[in-house]
């Protein structure tokens, strides 16, 4: 139901993604072990007020593996309610169970999301044919814009460019979040996929600038949780092929690195807590940022005048 493939309104330039720019992979705040709804709504407003182009709740950064089904659904609903149409919301809907991913995608569509982000199945280690059938079944059963999500460092399986090219023609598959950080993947995807209504998003903040400068359409970002204004400007400049994108990239390059000192979202949640936006809560098996890294990250937050 999106893009030229299915008749949903598109920009006049068909090579322009409906989800251009910086999309924040939102954290899920916890307080006393429960989802902190007030803090989550505050984060949504903070993001929109600081220029983010869109929101992506309950993905990897949102700790979706440790949310109950009820919590997952509620966070999606809150994101949509609080955004109130000000920016698009692409809801995380991935699972290592195909049937569960279908249910999550259907819920997001019914709740009013603008699209869903579907991570490759984790732990199962499917073959490329299994990945193709997984994504195809979801796209067949849910007539709704879907973004594939390849992050082999977290899933232990790699959605290869050739498989992505097989999936690209499906009318409900809008594009892919490519989080390998390997820019050669972008070039290979561009060569394999000629469809101008299939869009390419970075999922790696450190290489996002070059990804967009070389033909990508946006960035689904961890760093944007902390500096939504800078990341949105960076993406705008990169889409315009302006050298100003590199200026901002240099400014936040250390932050990009430090937010991955430990497994995401450990560092970003610590940073947001220091900024006074959330409590420090995180769910096991993840733990709070170790003391050996706290001073380094705090110094960078001070340097950027975030605390």
DSSP of 19-31: T-EEEEE----EE
Query: What does the chain come to in residues?
Result: 307
List 23, 122, 135, 149, catalytic entry: 149
Predicted pLDDT at 195:
80
- Diameter over CA atoms, the chain: 53
Q: Which two tokens stand for residue 74?
A: 């509620």
Please report, in angstroms and rounded to a whole number, the separation of the first and last CA atoms in the chain: 43
| pLDDT tens, residue by residue, 243-253 | 999 999 999 99
List 5, 122, 177, 201, catalytic entry: 177
SS3 call for 202: strand
Which residue in this structure is represented by tokens 């400068």? 213
Predicted pLDDT at 197:
87
CA dihedral of residues 52, 53, 58, 62 (deg, nearest 10): -30
Q: Which two tokens stand for residue 305?
A: 């005048």
Q: Which residues of the chain are under the pLDDT cut of 50?
A: 1-14
**Annotation marks residue 191 as catalytic:** no
Predicted pLDDT at 196:
85
* Alpha carbons 38 and 58: distance in angstroms, whole number: 16
**Annotation marks residue 149 as catalytic:** yes
**Which stretches of 142-243 are DSSP H helices?**
152-155, 161-167, 183-192, 208-213, 228-239
What are the C-alpha distances in Å from 255 to residues 206, 260, 261, 266? 9, 9, 10, 14
SS3 call for 92: strand
Residues 6 or more apart in contact with residue 270 via CB below 8 angstroms: 280, 288, 289, 294, 297
* Alpha carbons 107 and 104: distance in angstroms, whole number: 5
| pLDDT tens, residue by residue, 19-76 | 999 999 999 999 999 999 999 999 999 999 999 999 999 999 999 999 999 999 999 9
Q: Which two tokens stand for residue 176?
A: 């892919």
Q: Which two tokens stand for residue 279?
A: 């409590």
Predicted pLDDT at 108:
98
Predicted pLDDT at 15:
52
* Alpha carbons 55 and 221: distance in angstroms, whole number: 10
* Alpha carbons 206 and 256: distance in angstroms, whole number: 6
For 149, the enclosing helix (H) or strand (E) is strand 146-150
Predicted pLDDT at 44:
98
Q: In the 8-state DSSP scheme, what is residue 89?
A: B
């Amino acid at each position: 139901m999106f893009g030229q493939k299915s008749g949903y309104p598109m920009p006049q330039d068909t090579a322009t993604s409906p989800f251009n720019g910086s999309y924040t992979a939102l954290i899920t705040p916890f307080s006393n072990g429960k989802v902190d709804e007030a803090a989550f709504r505050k984060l949504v407003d903070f993001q929109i007020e600081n220029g983010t182009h869109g929101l992506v709740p309950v993905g990897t950064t949102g700790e979706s593996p440790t949310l109950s089904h009820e919590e997952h659904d509620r966070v999606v609903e809150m994101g949509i309610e609080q955004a109130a149409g000000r920016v698009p919301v692409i809801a995380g809907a991935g699972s290592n169970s195909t049937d569960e991913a279908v249910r999550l995608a259907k819920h997001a569509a019914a709740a009013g999301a603008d699209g869903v982000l579907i991570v490759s199945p984790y732990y199962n280690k499917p073959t490329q044919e299994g990945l193709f059938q997984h994504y195809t079944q979801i796209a067949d059963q849910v007539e709704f814009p879907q973004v594939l999500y390849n992050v082999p460092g977290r899933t232990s399986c790699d959605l290869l460019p050739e498989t992505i090219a097989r999936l690209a023609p499906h009318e409900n598959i809008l594009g892919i979040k490519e989080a390998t950080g390997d820019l050669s993947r972008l070039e290979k995807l561009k060569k394999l996929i000629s469809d101008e209504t299939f869009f390419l998003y970075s999922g790696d903040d450190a290489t996002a600038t070059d990804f967009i400068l070389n033909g990508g359409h946006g960035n689904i970002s961890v760093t944007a949780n902390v500096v939504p204004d800078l990341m949105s400007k960076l993406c705008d400049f990169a889409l315009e092929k302006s050298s100003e994108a590199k200026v901002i990239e240099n400014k936040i390059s250390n932050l990009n690195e430090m937010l991955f000192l430990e497994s995401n979202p450990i560092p970003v949640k610590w940073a947001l807590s220091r900024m006074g936006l959330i409590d420090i809560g995180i769910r096991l098996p993840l733990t709070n940022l170790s003391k050996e890294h706290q001073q380094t990250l705090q110094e960078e937050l001070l340097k950027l005048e975030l605390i």
